[in-house]
Structure 1
Amino acid sequence: MIGAGVVGFSMAWHLQRQGHQVTLIAPDLETKPGELSGSQAALGLLMAQVYRRSSGRGWRLRQQSLALWQQWRQELAERGHSIPGRSGLLQLATTPAELEAQERLCQQRQQQGLPLRMLTGDELAALRPALPEPCLGALSSPLDGQIDPQPALEAFRRDGITHGLQLVCQRVVQIRRAQENHDQRWWVELESREGLSARWLVICAGLSSPALLTPLGHERAQSPVLGQAAELQLHPDDWGSLNWPGSLSWDGINLVPRPQGRLWLGATLEPERTTPEAPCDHAVQELLNLKGHAPKWLQRSSVLRLWHGLRARPSGRPAPLLEVLEPGLILASGHYRNGVLLAPASALWAGEQIAAAESRG
């Protein structure tokens, strides 16, 4: 398996549980994910039931993942690996058109038996002035929420190693088809010029995936999109002001309350990038001041740290890219803004493809 983001580690962990011996290869395994990785930029929002579609692959993947995250977190906690998170998501409407769309979605979800609801005027008034403005209404989704990506990565890593996960901290130079005892296998050449052979090769290396696949004749272009994030420390007088029923989504910006009066902000405010540049100052300020609409409590906060990452967006294909490209070669990449959310369902899908192929002999 190539790639050590949340998709790669969760997939390795899941395949281990199915009885497979797994080796995970990536150049940044000895440290935290690199500054420009997609997992590093993620805040871990789980937007499944607020997804605007009600059918199709995207809907199914989100609902599978939401259920699996609950199961996996419980299983990992029983093994001593806690993944912190926060239940509930509040999506604010900033325009009349957005409010109308939320009301339609709420009605659809309630007809499906899901617990989404629009907050009443009195409930909104009770949350002000902590809410960013404009806020014409709010859709509450109690089963959506947020999990912390870095503890999740560490949980999969530690539990995986305990159960035999092998880690190879090297860059992959190329992959090629190979034959061993008349069986087709995959050969992975490392930067040390050493190599590994496997019957199944799963590529979940984000923006590094196309360069590995193109020589094999598989064109799966992905574009880098820059995501920004910030951690803020609220003024002590404002610690109790964030009485939201979960994390908050406002005009493309996500706000996640943290312990000890801290707050995460995250957004994808910049166009697609062709080079791994840092965010421009204007985009960072747009994030920190909520596009000029920061409430007083947010204006009084102080910035503890800023970080960013490049998210892999498929070019000309819907995200994510989940494909069996040829026998023994699986692509699970291009998750764009939903890598954390869709990691469990992607792992489940990959496991099903391998099981189905092996059952056919």
Structure 2
Amino acid sequence: MAPQDPNFHSQSVLVVGAGMVGLSIAWWLQLQGHRVELIDPQPAASPAALGVLMAQVFHRSSGRGWRLRQRSLELWNQWLPLLADQGHPIHWRPGLLLLAASPEERSRQERLAAERQGQGLPLTLWNQDQLAQLQPQLPPGGSGAIHSAADGQLDPAQALRAFRLDGERLGMATHQDRVVILRRGGAGQRWRAEGQSGRSWQADWCVVSAAVASSALLEPLGYQLPMEPVLGQALELELQEEPGWNWPGAVLWQGINLVPRPDLGGGRRLWLGATLEPGELAAPEALSQLRQLNGNAPPWLEKAQVVRQWQGHRPHPIGQPAPLLQKLEDGLILASGHYRNGVLLAPATAEWVAGQITCSR
């Protein structure tokens, strides 16, 4: 609902957490005409994210997860040009190619392609001869692939920067602090956030999007919403020579993303990731297996040089499906626990949060 709508009522909102989800929520609410304060000890951080958007090629065809993915893809297609118009272009590479590692997986892809065609969402099956024409050479042993032209990959760091800068242009306030206490109180029973620094903020609404830390913030208020950290490690590689990229987008192989970045490093860069490691400590052997594609790395990949390595934690809900989108009580919203799909689901989450605020007035 736009601010010029006579039924619109601007609200003050605290957003706790400035990862991809929190920043997109804060930007979207500010764009709608609300007054937003964003609080995080490390604003604009989304570690381990590669920005792969898997929506139409998602293996399910109904339910909340399916609906959120489709709506988010629609919104990303609207948001990217909107942010570019404000001087914040975000690298977007369309296309996603999922390799089948076995005949059984190939059969599942064939069923999925037929199902999507019935929904008017064309996915294309590729055979081994077509895959053999791609440069550089793909991992060996595949049984074919399925391609989605509508899905793709965007640069998470550029998206975070775009949300922050455009949000601040619109009036969004950012505070580098760690929220340690949430409570209701004061005039009008507004929500109050107290920071580790001793500062505090009050607003009509509080949106908690602080990844695993969300659980500890909400527990004193009586909410048991446990999440566990799942660590992911990722690599940026530089190939020895320009590979003549003709891949139809990012490639997914046995759960590993291979993301061409011909816009970086003279056209020879590739992102590789990310691992799935329960807990908070990175395992060198997991990174080694990633680097070797679990023993399936083609020669050009084995020879590539590591130029950057990064890691981060994904919030995985315990006992509930991801993500956790709940209006807990008047003025208090939880929007966290997106696990591996924070970048993909950020727009639909922001829209959902805005709808909760609008519908409550």
Residue identity matched to 1:194: R
TM-score (norm 1): 0.93
1:121 to partner: Cα distance: 4.0
Same amino acid, percent of matched pairs: 55
Residue identity matched to 1:6: M
Q: Identify which of 19, 22, 26 aligns with 2:40.
A: 26
Q: Which residue of 1 aligns with 2:310?
A: 307
In 2, the alpha carbon distance for the partners of 1:269 and 1:24 equals 29
Determine helix, strand or coil for the equivalent of 2:60: coil
In 2, the alpha carbon distance for the partners of 1:206 and 1:95 equals 35
In 1, the alpha carbon distance for the partners of 2:223 and 2:82 equals 37
Residue identity matched to 1:290: L
Residues 1:2 and 2:16 are matched in the alignment: yes
Q: Deviations over 1:81-134 (max 9, x none)?
A: 101121000000001211111111111001111121101343123127611122
CA contact (8 A) 1:2 1:24 kept: yes
After superposition, where does 1:49-88 map in structure 2 within 5 Å?
49-88=56-95
Q: Which residue of 2 aligns with 1:36?
A: none
After superposition, where does 1:124-273 map in structure 2 within 5 Å?
124-127=131-134, 130-180=137-187, 183-236=188-241, 238-240=242-244, 242-259=245-262, 260-270=267-277, 272-273=278-279
Q: Deviations over 1:36-67 (max 9, x none)?
A: xxx21100000001111111100000000001
Residue identity matched to 1:111: G
After superposition, where does 1:37-116 map in structure 2 within 5 Å?
39-116=46-123
- Alpha-carbon RMSD: 1.2
CA contact (8 A) 1:225 1:268 kept: no
In 2, the alpha carbon distance for the partners of 1:261 and 1:349 equals 39
Determine helix, strand or coil for the equivalent of 2:35: coil
Determine helix, strand or coil for the equivalent of 2:69: helix
In 1, the alpha carbon distance for the partners of 2:186 and 2:172 equals 25
Q: Deviations over 1:203-235 (max 9, x none)?
A: 000011011000000111001101110000001
TM-score (norm 2): 0.93
In 2, the alpha carbon distance for the partners of 1:282 and 1:305 equals 17
4+ runs deviating over 3 angstroms: none
Residue identity matched to 2:26: A
Residue identity matched to 2:35: Q
Determine helix, strand or coil for the equivalent of 1:244: coil
CA contact (8 A) 2:40 2:179 kept: yes
Residues 1:322 and 2:336 are matched in the alignment: no
Q: Deviations over 1:258-316 (max 9, x none)?
A: 1221000012332x11xx32x21111110001001100111121111111111000000
Q: Which residue of 2 aligns with 1:336?
A: 339
1:324 to partner: Cα distance: 0.1
Q: Which residue of 1 aligns with 2:5?
A: none
In 2, the alpha carbon distance for the partners of 1:173 and 1:353 equals 25
For structure 2, list consecutive stretches of 5 or more residues without a partner in the other structure: 1-14
CA contact (8 A) 1:129 1:295 kept: no
CA contact (8 A) 2:275 2:286 kept: no
For structure 1, list consecutive stretches of 5 or more residues without a partner in the other structure: 34-38
CA contact (8 A) 2:16 2:209 kept: yes
Determine helix, strand or coil for the equivalent of 1:336: coil
Determine helix, strand or coil for the equivalent of 1:206: coil
Q: Which residue of 2 aligns with 1:11?
A: 25
- How has the CA–CA distance of structure 1 residues 190 and 128 changed in structure 2, closer, same or farther, with 3 Å as cutoff? closer
In 2, the alpha carbon distance for the partners of 1:351 and 1:288 equals 41
In 2, the alpha carbon distance for the partners of 1:5 and 1:87 equals 23
After superposition, where does 1:276-291 map in structure 2 within 5 Å?
276-277=280-281, 279-291=282-294
Q: Which residue of 1 aligns with 2:6?
A: none
Q: Number of residues paired by the alignment?
A: 343
In 2, the alpha carbon distance for the partners of 1:193 and 1:280 equals 36
Q: Which residue of 2 aligns with 1:118?
A: 125
CA contact (8 A) 2:84 2:90 kept: yes
Determine helix, strand or coil for the equivalent of 1:81: coil
CA contact (8 A) 1:230 1:305 kept: yes
